[in-house]
Amino acid sequence: MCGELLLKNPVLGTMIATVAGMLSVSALADDAKPSLSQQLANPIANLTSVPIQYNALFGGGLDGKARISALDIQPVIPFRLNEDWNLITRTILPIASAQNLFNGMGDVSGLGDTQLSAFLSPEAAGPGGLIWGVGAVINMPTATDPLLGTSKWGAGPSAVALIQKGSWTVGILANQMWTFDGGNAINKSFVQPWVTYQLRDNWSVSATSQTSYDWITRQWTVPINVGVAKLVNIGEQPVQFQVGGIYMLSAPDGAPRWGLQTTVTFLFPKDG
């Protein structure tokens, strides 16, 4: 399946090859204990956080005038199983709205489907500083409108791998999801390569692509996301603010073509 994905989309293949090449470089800088900002660049860090992400997407619909917005609440909660292993959970609860989907008609708002991911990850990094996790992703049919979700349960395997060296974090996350409560509503592959570079004074820049392929409609969605973030303290509460842009390299007919993204992440580091 992975080979077919790469053959059908050279853009995705190039991105994965680039990330893989970066992961093979083990001497970008001397190893050091990850800062709080670096831990945020690691989706399976042993760090409790609550990202609240707002996406505003434009250029969709039959006439190119549709607007879609989504507020995603994404709590990340780690559980220490023993001295060697952690279980990292991430829940994504979207609150979405869309206007002018069908030439001035089709306005809708409400909840989307909820996704829960869980990764079993070793406490210590592996050879070359490799950090990895394996687990599962579950789709829960919480959408309040058919236009906002699948109305189907779904599940499948998920995995993530990354390396952090000096100011760099490079990694890739992937999952495959199928319907398991009847029908054929979900059969989708997801691949997300990303690169984050830490700047001075808790600034960082990042680039990623949350690429997906729908095996039922045989359609690609390939966005490019580029953003800048700043970690600050509000009183004693660490908070990261991020802003960026989204551009669709490939998307189904009627899907938005570009957008803006802002994220506020509340961090709850462990004492000591």
Both tokens assigned to 206: 């990042």
**pLDDT of 205-229, one tens digit each?**
999 999 999 999 999 999 999 999 9
**pLDDT of 120-163, one tens digit each?**
999 999 999 999 999 999 999 999 998 898 889 999 999 999 99
What distance in Å separates the CA atoms of residue 233 and residue 240, rounded to the nearest whole number? Answer: 8
Q: Is the dihedral of CA 167, 268, 76, 141 positive or negative?
A: negative
Residue 9 has pLDDT above 90, yes or no: no
Name the pTM for this structure.
0.85
- pLDDT in the model for residue 26: 40
Weakest mean pLDDT among 136-145, 178-187, 230-239, 242-251? 178-187
SS3 46: coil
SS3 213: strand
Residue 29 has pLDDT above 70, yes or no: no
Weakest mean pLDDT among 28-32, 82-86, 116-120? 28-32
Residue 7 has pLDDT above 80, yes or no: no
String of DSSP letters for 150-204: -SS-EEEEEEEEEEEETTEEEEEEEEEEEE-SSSS--EEEEEEEEEEEE-GGGEE
What value does the mean pLDDT take over residues 11-29?
45
What distance in Å separates the CA atoms of residue 269 and residue 237, rounded to the nearest whole number? Answer: 10
Q: Residue 27: exposed, middle, or buried by beta-carbon count in 10 A (0-12, 13-18, 19+)?
A: exposed
- pLDDT in the model for residue 33: 58
- pLDDT in the model for residue 100: 82
Can you point out the beta strands (E) in 15-125? 48-60, 66-73, 76-80, 85-99, 108-111, 114-122
- pLDDT in the model for residue 266: 98
- pLDDT in the model for residue 104: 58
- pLDDT in the model for residue 120: 98
**pLDDT of 80-103, one tens digit each?**
999 999 999 999 999 999 888 776
What value does the mean pLDDT take over residues 167-173?
97
What value does the mean pLDDT take over residues 222-244?
97
Weakest mean pLDDT among 15-19, 166-170, 205-209? 15-19
What single letter denotes the amino acid at residue 184? N
What distance in Å separates the CA atoms of residue 233 and residue 267, rounded to the nearest whole number? Answer: 10
- pLDDT in the model for residue 185: 80
Q: Are the CB atoms for 266 and 48 separated by under 8 Å? A: no
- pLDDT in the model for residue 75: 98
Both tokens assigned to 246: 């989204």
